[in-house]
Amino acid sequence: MTAIRGAARIAGVYEHPGRHLPGTSLPQIHAEVALGALADAGLTLSDVDAYFCAGDAPGFGAISMAEYLGLRLRHLDSTESGGSSYLMHLGHAAAAIAAGQCRVALITLGGKPRTGGAPPGGSMNDSRAPEYAFETPFGAPTVAQYALAAQRHMYEFGTTSAQLAEIKVAASLHAQHNPHALLPRPVTLEEVLDSPMISDPLHRLDCCVVTDGGGALVVVSPDVARSLDRTSVTLLGQGESVKYAGGRIDLTYTGAVWSGPAAFEQAGLKPADIGYASIYDSFTITVLQCLEDLGFCEKGQGGPFVAEGNLRAPDGLLPFNTDGGGLCNNHPGNRGGMTKVIEAVRQLRAEAHPAVQVADCRFALAHGSGGSLGTRAGAATVILGREDV
């Protein structure tokens, strides 16, 4: 468990600037973000000896992309857990580096749901899945499953739509400083609450954006990091888990109740040590429940916690998603975990926009969710530290 701490560093990150890419192929998106992250690290494709991708990679996944990119690999991993995949890849890459299986690992994400790619929740329509016959024919779209979780949380703890709306407001205040954000205009609580109801109690502005694009990470051994003329970020802890229904399900918590403590234990830190958090924001309810499950507030107190403005950068108690997140900036391929890591790295490098940069940010957390909050979902949490910690 503790072997991952300090075993690897993130040396390069890149987020595709495009949100609408009708003339760009899926492999091309993967290639462009790969080259961008490697350039950020000061490396090239010839330096890569490990490659990680998920179900968004076309063809035979890692095999097809290795050929497309011309990679010579000693290690590859195509773990698929939806939006949490890339945070799982981080832990797997660190373990592989610690075991001497590789020294430079490349992780890529690419998607085109806005211009003809797989739509949100597309995996739910796979008739080969064991759950298909029990759910999909009866009409259980993704947003309805998250709405069920929101309704239950409201019933159990008195959470309100206005409290959920504050999460969107905070994200929008951050997105105004991001020139690439799909929705860069700040919104008010009233605008969120007045937006069309999609699935009660979730309004349209409680839902994430749908974008083309992608992102990539370059994870290296400490000795490689020391040889680079680039500030790196240290992986201190990582945890992953799966939560599934198995019959009656408690909709008020997520897999973060397991992945979070595991990551904190590895890192030797606690929630109060975290200066910045990237939380996967597929819907506003996702953020609220994960904040509770990760230990930033007590279970049931997520509503009051966000209502106090704690998520707003730079001076909130826990600034979050300072790029605008999936609610306003980018949700490439319907998978939000990659961009969460990228913005956490920016914060630790002091490269976020000055208006939202957290002062003296030493430790950051990124959390990803995959699947559906209402049925079965993967969860992965990573804790990152500044190079000098």
pLDDT of residue 248: 75
Do residues 297 and 177 lie in contact, with contact meaning Cβ atoms separated by under 8 Å?
Answer: no
Burial class (CB in 10 A: 0-12, 13-18, 19+), 160: middle
Cis peptide preceding 314, ω within 30 of 0: yes
* Four-residue CA torsion sign, 298, 361, 97, 370: positive
Residue 25 corresponds to which tokens in the numbers above?
């192929």
259 has a pLDDT exceeding 80: yes
Mean pLDDT of 179-193: 98
SS3 203: strand
Range of lowest pLDDT (45-59, 124-138, 190-204, 267-281): 124-138
237 has a pLDDT exceeding 60: yes
Count CB atoms within 10 A of the CB of residue 233: 26
SS3 366: strand
pLDDT in tens, 60-88: 999 999 999 999 999 999 999 999 999 99
Q: Beta-strand (E) ranges in 30-172?
A: 50-52, 75-77, 104-111
132 has a pLDDT exceeding 80: no
User: What is the rounded CA–CA span in Å between residue 324 and residue 181?
Assistant: 7
Domains and CATH numbers, the chain: 2-118+208-386 (3.40.47.10)
pLDDT of residue 1: 43
Beta bridge partners of 81: 83
pLDDT in tens, 298-344: 999 999 999 999 999 999 999 999 999 999 999 999 999 999 999 99
Tokens 């940069």 appear where? 357
Q: b/e map of 238-276 (b: 16 or more CB within 10 Å)? A: bbbbebebeeebebbbbbbbbbbbbbbbbbebebeebbb
The residues, ordered by sequence, that sit 6+ positions from 173 with a Cβ below 8 Å of its Cβ are 186, 312, 313
The residues, ordered by sequence, that sit 6+ positions from 124 with a Cβ below 8 Å of its Cβ are 132, 135, 136, 140, 141, 142, 372
pLDDT in tens, 142-167: 899 999 999 999 999 999 999 999 99
What is the β-pairing status of strands 363-371 and 276-279? parallel
